[in-house]
Amino acid sequence: MKFAVIVFPGSNCDIDMFHAIKDELGEEVEFVWHDSEDLSGFDGILLPGGFSYGDYLRSGSIARFSNVMKEVVKAAEQGKPVLGVCNGFQILLEAGLLPGAMLRNTNLKFMCRTVGLRVENNETMFTTSFDHGQTIQIPIAHGEGNYYCDDATYKQLLENGQIAFTYEGTNPNGSLGDIAGITNAQGNVLGMMPHPERAVDSLLGSADGLKLFQSIVKHWRDSNVVTA
């Protein structure tokens, strides 16, 4: 499977994502600059964390208009897995690929620590390697991770099983319903604030994040089995 790691001016977790795919997952991966106009050669799209365009105006609001985002939207419409982490999640929200919006953390502080996540839906292409209700340890690093949506959207997320992860125990940022990660209705776009790419080896304190990437590969291989 071949992944694209999208790089925006201000991305700072792109190398972490590249390492997770190449060295820990053992799959093909390339950096793709924000002005690219072709993602057709990739099977999965990864939007890493950071501060795209300095987070001016609003996190992700400028990156949303980068040339490559037209291709990201196209890949999502084709059913390819699209993962946005932290700032990548914010960009997916701004692009309308996921519902809702991101607010400042309720304590108005940037937070960087490992938190517990509860797996709410283990039937998406990103979560099949987990158990339902399993608690995993994944780092966070954000100042605007307070997910918000209106009541109708929240009800829809619950009814459709679009909430992939919630914070276990203390909610670090005040997000509605303790939400840490959501998918689109089709289940092929995932946005999450915690960083699974920073939890792919026990030397990093946790290897729980690797299962997310393994789930993507398993789904892709199962979907591309050639029968005689």
Q: Is the pLDDT of residue 53 over 80?
A: yes
Q: CA-CA distance, 33 to 127, in Å (whole number)? A: 28
Task: Summarize the confidence of residues 8-12 as an average pLDDT.
Answer: 96
Q: What pLDDT is attached to residue 226?
A: 52
Helices assigned H by DSSP within the chain:
14-19, 67-77, 87-94, 151-160, 210-223
Q: What is the mean pLDDT of residues 60-84?
A: 96
All structural domains of the chain, each given as residue ranges with its CATH number in brackets, are 2-223 (3.40.50.880)
The C-alpha angle 111, 127, 44, rounded to 5 degrees, equals: 90
**Whether pLDDT at 228 is above 50:** no
Dist CA 158 CA 165 (whole Å):
12
Which is it for the CA torsion 62, 39, 86, 157, positive or negative? Answer: positive
Catalytic residues: 86, 195, 197
What does the pLDDT read at residue 195?
98
Average pLDDT score, the chain? 96
Of the listed ranges 55-64, 85-94, 122-131, 179-188, the one predicted with least confidence: 55-64
Q: Which of 76, 89, 19, 80 is nearest to 48 (CA)?
A: 89
Per-residue pLDDT tens digits for 20-39: 999 999 999 999 999 999 99
Residue 66 has pLDDT above 60, yes or no: yes
Full-model pTM: 0.96
pLDDT in tens, 130-177: 999 999 999 999 999 999 999 999 999 999 999 999 999 999 999 999
Report the C-alpha gap between 31 and 7 in whole angstroms: 7
Pairing of strands 146-148, 163-168: unpaired
Report the percentage of the chain scoring pLDDT > 70: 98
Residue 118, C-beta contacts closer than 8 angstroms, at least 6 positions apart: 133, 134, 135, 165, 166, 167, 168
